[in-house]
Amino acid sequence: MYVAVKGGERAIDNAHRLLAHERRGDPAIAEIAPEQIAGQLTLAVDRVMAEGSLYDPEIAAIAIKQARGDLIEAIFLVRAYRTTLPRFGCSQPVDTGAMQVVRRVSATYKDLPGGQVLGPTFDYTHRLIDFDLAGTTTPAAPAEAAAPLDPAPHVTALLDGEGLIESNPDRAAEPGDLTREPLAFPAGRDLRLQALARGDEGFLLALGYSTQRGYGRTHAFAGEIRIGDVEVEVFAEELGFAVPLGRLRVTECEMVNQFKGSATVPPQFTRGYGLTFGQLERKAMSMALVDRALRAEDLGEETGSPAQDQEFVLSHVDNVQATGFVEHLKLPHYVDFQAELGLVRQMRREQAAAQTEADGRAEADKPAEADDLAATAATLDREAAE
């Protein structure tokens, strides 16, 4: 006797109870605190803040804990929280040139004003598992510079001073916001950069990589990568001047790309730009490569590679959208599947009937079939001879 499936509600409640239990893990081991995540898994927190589009290390840390370390799930939690927050307005542009850098490297000059500052980087570490980390460690205190660092002007500003690179566009009106207005194509660079800044690191990495391998090559040099803290200010209408809101850590990458020029315009390098919350060098560099690739059409270059195709890139860069739609395939689809099953069964029946009919005819027309075979054989002979 068949009874229709019921009890979805209880199944869901029980699944969530089990999930909470699994998240906690062995109760004999101390529970991880958000402060530990925010303090020791900072790069995970940075990624969740960047792609979650919300600068709040505490919320990001809780999200990572709640998501059991699944960063895309944590990003989703932060996004869903962010969307409930009121929007007060648009800040003044942050002045990354005045950044207090903790790291700043340029690949285009050996030395430059402000110097090369390696900072806290995995670069030049040997990727050997450090078995000491199985226990507790007490790293040495960081080395201190004898004097404060010199100001570090942008590398691109040095080039711009000589007219060697295209100037940054003038500060336009307030930039668009794709979380408030649905994206329409073609999208301007402001909206493209916003989409990339919120976009999936892995997707951008692969796209940026593809430009290096010839799918929309941009001949990029890492003009500069800088990481540090910047001041955020909002213009207070009632006061008539900008007031500081606080500081946040960002990573900025300015790529210097192959030049443009014409009979009338002298050749100049072009720009690709990446900026992220936190310390996310890989993301910022990938973003800068993709930003430049997406400018191909505006710069009159040949297009056709995936990274140059804004409808393709912007429609697929968001991992919260992507994971939702990919994972929705596990929802029940049996109504549609039933429709397909019905059609396939019907077409198989019809084909079988047609086959039976054809077999019947063939039985009656045996000599004709022999002629066909002979003709086929003749064709094959001719093809072999050519």
Partner 1 sequence: MTAAAYNFAYLDEQTKRMIRRAILKAIAIPGYQVPFASREMPMPYGWGTGGVQVTASILGRDDVLKVIDQGSDDTTNAVSIRKFFQKTAGVATTTATAEATVIQTRHRIPETPLQAGQVLVYQVPIPEPLRFLEPRETETRKMHALAEYGLMHVKLYEDIARHGHIATTYAYPVMVAGRYLMDPSPTPKFDNPKMHRSAALQLFGAGREKRIYAVPPHTEVVSLDFEDHPFEVNRFEQPCALCGAEGVYLDEVVLDDRGGRMFVCSDTDHCETRQAAGHRGTMASPIAAGEGGRRAD
User: Which amino acid type is present at position 256?
Assistant: V
Nearest distance from C-beta of residue 325 to partner 1, angstroms: 4
Structure tokens belonging to residue 64? 């990572």
Toward partner 1, which CB reaches closer, 76 or 277? 76
Nearest distance from C-beta of residue 68 to partner 1, angstroms: 16
Phi (first) and psi of residue 252, to 5 degrees: -125, 140
Nearest distance from C-beta of residue 175 to partner 1, angstroms: 15
Nearest distance from C-beta of residue 2 to partner 1, angstroms: 6
Do residues 192 and 270 touch, judged by C-beta distance below 8 A? no
Nearest distance from C-beta of residue 336 to partner 1, angstroms: 4
What is the Cα–Cα distance from 224 to 255, expressed in whole angstroms? 7
Toward partner 1, which CB reaches closer, 176 or 208? 176
Q: Which residues of the shown chain bind partner 1 in the complex (CB under 8 A)?
A: 1-9, 11-12, 76, 79-84, 86, 179-186, 311-312, 315, 320-321, 323-328, 331-336, 338-343, 346-347, 350
Toward partner 1, which CB reaches closer, 212 or 303? 303
Structure tokens belonging to residue 179? 């979380």
Nearest distance from C-beta of residue 332 to partner 1, angstroms: 5
Toward partner 1, which CB reaches closer, 183 or 242? 183
User: Which residues, including other chains, have CB under 8 Å from residue 74's CB and lie 6 or more apart?
Assistant: 48, 52, 60, 63, 64, 66, 67
Toward partner 1, which CB reaches closer, 80 or 368? 80
Toward partner 1, which CB reaches closer, 7 or 135? 7
User: Which residues, including other chains, have CB under 8 Å from residue 166's CB and lie 6 or more apart?
Assistant: 260, 268, 269, 270, 271
* Beta pairing, strands 268-277 & 221-236: unpaired
Nearest distance from C-beta of residue 74 to partner 1, angstroms: 14
**Helices 189-198 and 281-294: angle between axes, nearest 10 degrees:** 150
Toward partner 1, which CB reaches closer, 185 or 241? 185
Structure tokens belonging to residue 378? 């003749």
What is the Cα–Cα distance from 207 to 201, expressed in whole angstroms? 10
What is the Cα–Cα distance from 70 to 50, expressed in whole angstroms? 15
DSSP 249-272: EEEEEEEEEEEE--SSSPPEEEEE
What is the Cα–Cα distance from 198 to 277, expressed in whole angstroms? 10
Toward partner 1, which CB reaches closer, 11 or 33? 11
Toward partner 1, which CB reaches closer, 5 or 145? 5
- How far is CA 287 from each of CA 37, 255, 324, 340, 361, rounded to the nearest angstrom? 26, 10, 23, 42, 66
What is the Cα–Cα distance from 11 to 29, expressed in whole angstroms? 29
Toward partner 1, which CB reaches closer, 338 or 376? 338
End-to-end CA distance of the chain: 69
What is the Cα–Cα distance from 267 to 259, expressed in whole angstroms? 6
